[in-house]
Amino acid sequence: MTDLPISSPASAARPWAAGAAVIVAAGVYAWALLMAEETWQVTGLLALAVAAVLAALKTGFARRLHQDWSASETRLNRLAFATLIVLIFVLSDAHFALLMVATTLLYFTASMGLNIQFGFAGMANFAGAAFFGAGAYTAAVLGTVTAVPPLLTLALGGGVALVLSLPLLLPIVRTTGHYAAVVTIAFGVLFRTFLEVNEILGGPQGLMVAPMRLFGWDFNSAPVIGGYEMSFYVNYALLAAALAGLVFMLMRRLERSWIGLHMDAVRLDETAAACFGISVTRTKVTAFLMGNAILGVSGALYGMMISFIAPASFTFSDSLLMVSIVLLGGLGSLWGGAVAAAIVVLLPEKLQLLQEYRFLLFSILVILVLLFRPDGILPRPMRSFFASRRAGK
Amino acid sequence: MDFGLIAQYLANGILLGTMYALVAVGFTLFFGVLDVIKFSHGDVLMLGTFIGFTAWLGLEAIGVANPWVQLLGVLICSLGGTALIGAAIAKWLVLPLKKAPQLNTLLITLMLGTAIREAVRLFYPNGSNPKAFPALLPDAAVELGSFSLRADSVILVLAGLGLIGLLNLVINRTRLGLAIRAVAQDEETARIMGINYTLVVLATFAIGSGVAAFAGIMNGLYYNEINFGMGLILGLIGFSAAIIGGLGNLYGAILGGFLFAGLQVIGAALLPFASAYKDVFAFAVVIALMAWKPTGLIPERSSDRV
């Protein structure tokens, strides 16, 4: 309690300044990283990031940032979103960079879905890529039916993922621990094998996916503003940003609601939660269905964006990669998931020599994180019911 | 469907069942002593098979041509090496995490499996392509009408069943087995009785990994091909088999292994749709079995203490 009066005069004047500075710096940094072409530039930028993080931890800036964030969270989240939109427009003619941004955002969205299960309710789901793929395949199949508006396809992608998780509900709810893990693992393998042998769904070759269309606007055509032609990935990046923002908002609300509270209780102690009258079954069912629906929606948009999908993109290893995002970021930590998604997606793409080694690299990274920092990069903060009181007011 | 075809499927099922049971036994042993799932088991198996393959290459290089001598060398190198690797994983990755949440152990070993798999793919010479495993067993066959019984499958099944029997003897009749069972039943009491806990755990992991390496060599000898991804699917099947049989029970693992092989054979032979769906069918039945018997067919004796 002694540090509160010392730090409060500085942060009381502008209790968001440090957070805002970090967001803007992160935006500029993301731009520099995405535009960096040479290996030495990327390596230099990565070294800079490591140095900045270490400096922030040493000088106490990290704690200041944390205080800012809990004091004016809404404002800072909005600023982060605005920075993201600006970043997308600044990058407007760089195809590859925008594809990276959109992929990161979709993986971030997917990891938020998994976070409901792993982070909030404490359930294991090792079929993340399968539900993601279910959404993508839905988009592929419905794309051939012109009568279905693509925005509805997105929702239906989530719907199909949800329907596919229904048969798993009974085994998931009745089993715990290892036994529950085997159910999702078996489903993931089953799903992938099914896609590979099913001729109607394209077999191992996969399917083409029709592009997104919104109010008659084809997402695969380049938008032109004031005579300036932009990459068509701007469309997808903006839509992915909107989706990520929407899901983020939903997640924050879920976390603060009584449903999130129930999930926390079930994760920490099922027996105790049941003693307090929380329906463990209902909570687990909610977490499982909600998470999978989010995975399905992000998968559907991902399929439309890359326009070609095959079973090889939805393997057990990809499920593990999604789980790595959740764990690296920190269980239940949304911003941690964003940082981890950026690391997991961008690092192998920017450092081409890592591309081949990415599964090896991230599996070792996750082992190290689990051994030495089990809470992840940005651990989930303690639930604060009275935000203003914790900020020292 | 004539008799010959049925017999062929049956023989195939028995061979697969033996192999799966050998993998599942490892999962169940580890769970017994430490209450953890070591998910890298399948990839350790794959590594063991590659060690055996390398040993064979080495024996070829120094001019040992007798297939039985080669087989002996392959088995000694593979089983011994894998047992050491298993014990090392237990010592440095699994034992330090004994107090951590179950999910963490599961994840660490899952990621370790991925790391092993990727390391073999990237660093073993030409590791991303399948390797032709040598046929070291005699390839004679007995023809019974349309059914041909291959001598190598008979030898493999007999050796596998013999190993399971031997393991059963070790667990039930020796001092080491007594210690393993004691630790599985109650770790603290076992320690008080003067059992060297760490040593027992390491020995169990060594035994389980060695047995899995045998299954890997079996797989290689039967299909004459090994690749870096073989451990993932074998590990998944072994894990599923151990779970549907009931964790912590040797007989459950054997039952689960043969059950899974039976499901695959039924999926390939009897069901109306294409045989390519056999794994889809088998895993779907596994999920259904989990819904019906959440703790396996032979459940472990436990109760929730509050």
Contact A189 B295 (CB under 8 A): no
Q: Is the dihedral of CA B161, B239, A311, A139 positive or negative?
A: positive
**Looking at chain A, which residue has its C-alpha nearest residue B232?**
A316
Task: Band the pLDDT of A216: cuts 50, 70, 90.
Answer: low
Can you list the alpha helix ranges (DSSP code H) found in chain A? 3-13, 17-35, 39-59, 61-71, 73-90, 95-115, 128-143, 150-174, 177-197, 233-256, 258-268, 270-275, 280-306, 316-329, 334-350, 352-355, 358-372, 387-390
For chain B, the distance separating the N- and C-terminal CA atoms, rounded to the nearest angstrom, is 56
Contact B283 A168 (CB under 8 A): no
Residue with tokens 């039945």: B285
Phi, psi for A217 (deg, rounded to 5): -95, 120
Produce one character per residue of A126-144: b if its CB has 16 or more CB atoms within 10 Å, e if not.
bbbbbbbbbbbbbbbbbbe
The whole-angstrom separation of Cα A89 and Cα A238 is 9
Residue with tokens 């689990």: A370
Task: Band the pLDDT of A308: cuts 50, 70, 90.
Answer: confident
Contact B290 A182 (CB under 8 A): yes
Touching check for B114 and chain A: CB below 8 Å? yes
On whether ipTM exceeds 0.90, the answer is no
- Contact criterion met (CB below 8 Å) for A249 and A242: no
Using an 8 Å CB-CB cutoff, list chain A residues near B280: 190, 193-194, 197
**CA–CA min distance A84, chain B (Å):** 32
Which tens digits make up the pLDDT trace of A313-369?
888 888 988 988 898 888 888 888 998 998 888 888 777 777 778 778 888 888 888
Determine the pLDDT at residue B105: 81
| DSSP states of B253-289 | HHHHHHHHHHHHHHHHHTSSS-GGGHHHHHHHHHHHH
SS3 A354: helix
Determine the pLDDT at residue B36: 80
- Contact criterion met (CB below 8 Å) for A320 and A128: no
pLDDT at B168 over 50: yes
Residue with tokens 């920490």: A268
Using an 8 Å CB-CB cutoff, list chain A residues near B296: 179
Q: Would you state the structure tokens that stand for residue A279, as one six-digit string?
A: 């329906």
Phi-psi region of A38 (alpha: psi -120 to 50; beta: other; left: phi over 0): beta
For chain A, the distance separating the N- and C-terminal CA atoms, rounded to the nearest angstrom, is 13
- Contact criterion met (CB below 8 Å) for B185 and B243: no
Give whichever of A191-200, A208-217, A256-265 has the largest mean pLDDT.
A256-265
Please report the number of interchain residue pairs, chain A to chain B, with beta-carbon separation below 8 angstroms. Answer: 119
User: Of B11, B2, B48, B37, whose CA–CA distance to B217 is shortest?
Assistant: B48
Using an 8 Å CB-CB cutoff, list chain B residues near A124: 103, 106
**Looking at chain A, which residue has its C-alpha nearest residue B296?**
A179
What rounded mean pLDDT belongs to chain A? 83
Give mean pLDDT, residues B151-162: 90
| Domain range annotation of chain A | 1-90, 95-317
| Interfacial residues of A (vs B; Cβ cutoff 8 Å) | 118, 122, 124, 126, 167-168, 170-171, 174-179, 181-183, 185-187, 189-190, 193-194, 196-197, 271, 316-317, 320, 323-324, 327, 356-357, 359-360, 363-364, 366-367, 370-371, 374
